[in-house]
Structure 1
Amino acid sequence: MGIWRGLRVAFILGSLFMILLIIVYWDDVGGFNLYPLREPKPQSFVTVCRSQATTGPSHSTSTSRAHIRSSFIVPTTASSTTPAVPEETGGVAEEEEMDKQDKRKEEIKQDAENDKGHTAVDNREQEARKNRITDICSGKEAVEFPGRTRAFEQIPNRELDHLIVDDTHQIIYCYVPKVACTNWKRVMVVLSQSLISPSSGKPYTDPEAVPPDLVHNSSLHLTFAKFWRHYGSLSRHLMALKLQHYTKFLFVRDPFVRLISAFRNKFGRPNEDFYRQFGSVMVRRYGNVSGSLPETAAEAFAAGVKPTFQQFITYLLDPETEKESIFNEHWRQVYRLCHPCQVKYDFIGQLETLETDAEHLLKLLQVDHLLRFPSGARNRTATSWERDWFTQIPITMRRELYKLYEPDFELFGYPKPDSVLH
């Protein structure tokens, strides 16, 4: 009896097992579906290609081809046996879009390579300019000038009034008159937010919108010369810290061309301040003018009384001029304005390469996303004008003038003007 009962139990279990196998078999071959599947959306050839172009060749060639072929196949179900067909119109549009994107990527890549190349050239040029200054200041070159070997602490405060400080962006700019200083002062005003626009009631954000006649107001700029008033006995210590950690820059220009530009700007047209302080002195000393001079610049110009370029040069070479006072900033030597032997500048720009140097500098200062250097008109006095301007100047005076400005020629890499000196 026990044996028959065991056989019946085994038969029942075997039957159940066979039924389960049949169910699983029919589910696999599609006889019926316990879990209905959704029909996947076909991928177009362009989409697959774009995907591979984006992700890169992470699989072998045979695997990629199998992927492309499988993208056209839709798994069949009991309710659908028709293979999907790629949409022709959509494929063409996507292919055109892909071509546009590929072209744009190539342009971006080319621009990046060009920028990288320009940056490398700019960096090499900057290193050459800085190394030249270091060599001359260290005495490797036979160029001597007052103050070459003195320490920064020995420079009087009054001679530090051209070093403008922006603490927000940690920048120090030494401005040189007649070397795009109006536009660079505009940039410093925007960065320091030191001037409010009357139209918006907020600080200026666009350098070109800053009125050029206002940027020369000394109250807008914090300079090293003002540190004593603000920080007292700590001023020199703070200067040293800022010189060590801030980015320092200046812009220079061919010294003789800068002189011509200064003369044209200050004495080529009526300028009351410069006529009274300098022009009338030049005319009286070197012009053989008898009697009294006109009191105003307008009256003097109307009467044809105004200094000539030769009188201007004579005034610069006159020993009495240096005894009376230090040169005016518009014709003072750059080494006396910015002290390149005491201040290790991170960037030396030149007016002759203003556009490219300005672009490079703003990136270096990490403010190129905040503003652009003003693109307005700049002084167009050119090196080619030197010969004409110096034609009436005796050769001995030309050579004396070169000796006076030789440190600037040498420090900043400007060639000796042989056409003027010989």
Structure 2
Amino acid sequence: MGSNKEFKAVFLLPGLLVFITLTIHGLEFYQLNIAPKFSEQQRLRKDLLRKQCGGINQSLVNLNKIDLKNFIVDDKHGIIYCYIPKVACTNWKRTIIALNHDEPYPDPQSFKSNLVHRFDRFKLLTQFPMPERKAKLKHYTKFLFVRDPFVRLISAYRDKMQKYDQYFYDGYVRVILQRFTNQRNLTVNYNVARKKGLRPSFYNFIQYIVDPRTQTYAFEPHWSQMYRLCHPCLIEYDFVGHQESLQEDAQELLKMVKLENDIKFPPSYENMTSADSVMDWFQSVPLEDRRMLYRIYEEDFQLFGYRRPTELLDD
């Protein structure tokens, strides 16, 4: 693909003229190519969102009332990505970093995972004035990727409770161990704790999430409800991807934005959790706690089309 020439686009909002730097590539996409390129799967996913959000008025008027810190803006290609931790966000961040280099784009896998999560690598929607945020949300291609909520919790537990760093040890692991295992006088050093094998069980982690004390505060993003991070009933997404069909969905999205020949989405090496292994993980969790957990994440299940796991919730 040739280089994308920048130009100034003017959008009229009530009482305001908003000047936004766009690209010919991005403008061509959202003016001409969004609707024709939706697959049947995308139509069904977006129809479900509209149906589930039916009682909620989708309006950018309320934009100042929500948290937009998970929204990454790529002005070069007219893209906004709402990232959800534990849903391929490392590889999507790698891809966006690569896309903001000169062509030919570097291999996204060349960017180390411990560096891609630094906020200084991205433009966040929160960095723009409110009129510009609204204009970008109206005219850019907006996408997110979601995942079975309980499988995402298992992934979060394995990553942040079993392989914790100092941040997660101080803020969560020590709290969980003290609250649910009655351990006292715990070391302050996470390396010492890991060497001693100090780790909450999966059940301890679930106990923490369903604890009313936990729910008085915003959840840590790795286990926060997906709808709370990306607000699908307020923001009308152009593409809704699923972790369960990650490679196919990633290719479809890149094709939609005419980048499929310019960059390759990285392969995923994470072991996908099967239905049987989900059952194994939840064996230690009492039925009532499973039901409480489902109520916490029920909107995610319903909004994004994941079936209610009856094998975990029914007698």
TM-score, normalised via structure 1 length: 0.63
Question: C-alpha distance in 1, partners of 2:276/2:252?
Answer: 27
1:383–1:238 Cα change, 3 Å? farther
Question: Match for residue 223 of structure 2?
Answer: 331
Once the two structures are TM-superposed, the CA of residue 382 in structure 1 deviates from its matched residue by 3.2
Q: CA RMSD in A?
A: 2.1
SS of 2:115 mapped into structure 1: coil
Structure 2 CA distance for partners of 1:365 and 1:341, relative to 1, 3 Å? same
2:44 is paired with a residue whose SS is: helix
Q: Does 1:278 align with 2:172?
A: yes
Partner of 1:173: 81
> Which AA in structure 2 matches 1:411?
L
1:352 aligned partner: 244
The aligned counterpart of 2:208 is 315
1:213 corresponds to? 114
After TM superposition, the structure 1 = structure 2 runs for residues 80-99 of structure 1, keeping only pairs within 5 Å, are: none
2:92 aligned to which of 177, 184, 193 = 184
Report the structure, 1 or 2, having the larger helix content. Answer: 1
Q: 1:254 aligns with which of 126, 148, 153?
A: 148
2:290 to 398, 419, 422: 398
Between 401-410 and 313-322, the greater mean CA deviation after superposition? 313-322
Q: Quote the residue 1:79 is aligned against.
A: none
DSSP 3-state at the match of 1:319: coil
| Structure 1 residue runs without a partner (length 5+) | 1-119, 140-147, 195-201, 228-234
Deviations 1:326-362 (A, max 9, x none): 1111001110000001111011010111111111110
Gaps of 5+ in 2: 1-35
Specify which structure has the higher proportion of strand.
2
Alpha carbons of structure 1 residues 315 and 152: separation in structure 2 relative to 1, 3 Å: farther
CA distance in 2, matches of 1:250, 1:407: 16
Matches within 5 A, 1:78-227: 123-139=39-55, 148-149=56-57, 151-156=59-64, 159-193=67-101, 205-227=106-128
3-state SS of 1:278 partner: helix
Given the alignment of the two structures, is residue 382 of structure 1 paired with residue 290 of structure 2, yes or no? no
Kindly provide the amino acid, as one letter, of the partner of residue 175 in structure 1.
Y
CA distance in 2: counterparts of 1:190 and 1:389, whole angstroms: 36
In 1, the alpha carbon distance for the partners of 2:231 and 2:290 equals 25
Q: Report which stretch shifted further, 410-419 or 239-248.
A: 239-248
Q: Which runs of 4+ in 1 moved over 4 A?
A: 148-151, 155-158
Larger Rg: 1
Q: Is the 8 A contact 2:105 2:262 kept in 1?
A: no
CA contact (8 A) 2:64 2:130 kept: no
Alpha-carbon distance, 1:192 to partner: 2.1
2:198 maps to 1:305: yes
The aligned counterpart of 2:25 is none
**Post-superposition CA distance 1:11-34 (Å, at most 9, x none):** xxxxxxxxxxxxxxxxxxxxxxxx
Contact 2:42 2:239 in 1 (8 A): yes
Identity of aligned residues (%): 42
Q: Distance in 2 between matches of 1:203 and 1:272?
A: 38
**Aligned partners of 1:399 and 1:126: how far apart in 2?**
30
Structure-to-structure mapping, 1:405-420, within 5 angstroms? 405-420=297-312
